């Protein structure tokens, strides 16, 4: 099994805050991945994306992209603008060689869950057509939710992805911990993903505070909410061929290094 670890964004210990410096810092501390954060908007041009991609390729760093937070494919008034933000992210991802663009599909609002799913599926079909037409080598990464008001249970995500091969599920372990009130069945969740045909996974990990409505805020890994050791054991015993684990902890790469140490303790060799 190949495991890639890294932060969501430029490492805190990077001497400069630009993307290329962040990639270089990830390599310096012997991590293997970095997620480029467009969460406040896509402000990177294709030239810089190409430069970042060349740095990542030279240093052996696996890149992914997180699309802006301002996305809601379940709202007819916001869907088109949301699709543009995702597709802008996909274009940059293609130029930098990032294989997946992660996004939160949207909120149920007043919709029935089936209607919300139909809207997300329709948007994904339209975006997939643009991706294929432009020959962008990138996947649409639908992320699991941590909020009861938000579209994105494991079943909902797998249903969309099963109908559209440009889509791929993104498992956020912390979100599912919050959604299931601290009692997620990670073993079943991983088996559901594997049985759906996904041997290559993109995931997020951190610890999480939650309420009855779901996620509240990210925590550092030492809170053991959830316990990374337990998640790591399930991953290592699985039939996965490849997994990327992006740290969304408040201390980013520091917790990626904690995860690396724990995986090595359990017998994995990077």
- Model's pTM, two decimal places? 0.97
pLDDT tens digits, 167-177 = 999 999 999 99
- Residue 42's pLDDT band, with cuts at 50, 70 and 90, is very high
Where exactly are the structural domains of the chain?
2-265
* 208 Cβ contact list (under 8 Å, min separation 6): 146, 174, 175, 177, 178, 215, 216, 217, 218, 219, 225, 226
List pLDDT tens digits, range 169-215: 999 999 999 999 999 999 999 999 999 999 999 999 999 999 999 99
CATH architecture of 2-265: Alpha-Beta Barrel (3.20)
Establish how many alpha carbons lie within 13 A of residue 140's alpha carbon, considering only the half-sphere containing its beta carbon. 31
Q: How long, in residues, is the chain?
A: 270
The pLDDT, as a whole number, for residue 182 is: 97
CA-based end-to-end distance of the chain: 10
C-alpha–C-alpha distance, residues 228 and 222, integer Å: 9
Position 6 scores a pLDDT of 98
Q: pLDDT above 90 covers what percent of the chain? A: 100
């Amino acid at each position: 099994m190949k495991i890639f670890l890294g932060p969501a964004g430029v490492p805190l210990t990077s001497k400069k805050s630009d993307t290329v410096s962040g990639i270089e810092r990830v390599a310096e501390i012997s991590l293997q991945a970095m997620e480029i954060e467009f969460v406040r908007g896509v402000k990177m041009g294709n030239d810089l994306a190409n430069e970042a991609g060349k740095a990542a390729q030279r240093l052996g760093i696996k890149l992914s992209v997180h699309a802006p937070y301002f996305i809601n494919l379940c709202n007819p008034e916001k869907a088109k603008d949301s699709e543009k933000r995702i597709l802008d992210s996909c274009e940059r991802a293609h130029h930098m060689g990032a294989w997946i663009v992660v996004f939160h599909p949207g909120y149920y609002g007043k919709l029935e869950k089936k209607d919300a799913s139909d809207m997300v599926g329709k948007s994904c079909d339209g975006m997939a057509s643009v991706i294929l037409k432009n020959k962008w080598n990138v996947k649409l990464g639908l992320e699991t939710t941590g909020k009861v008001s938000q579209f994105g249970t494991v079943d909902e995500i797998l249903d969309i992805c099963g109908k559209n091969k440009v889509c791929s599920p993104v498992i956020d372990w912390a979100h599912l911990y919050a959604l299931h009130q601290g009692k997620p069945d990670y073993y079943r969740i991983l088996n559901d993903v594997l049985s759906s045909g996904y041997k290559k996974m993109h995931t997020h990990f951190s610890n999480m505070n939650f309420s009855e409505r779901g996620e509240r805020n990210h925590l550092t890994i030492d809170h053991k909410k959830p316990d990374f050791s337990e998640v790591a054991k399930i991953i290592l015993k699985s039939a996965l061929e490849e997994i990327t684990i992006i740290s969304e902890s408040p201390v980013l790469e520091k917790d990626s290094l904690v995860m690396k140490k724990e995986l090595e303790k359990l017998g994995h060799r990077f």
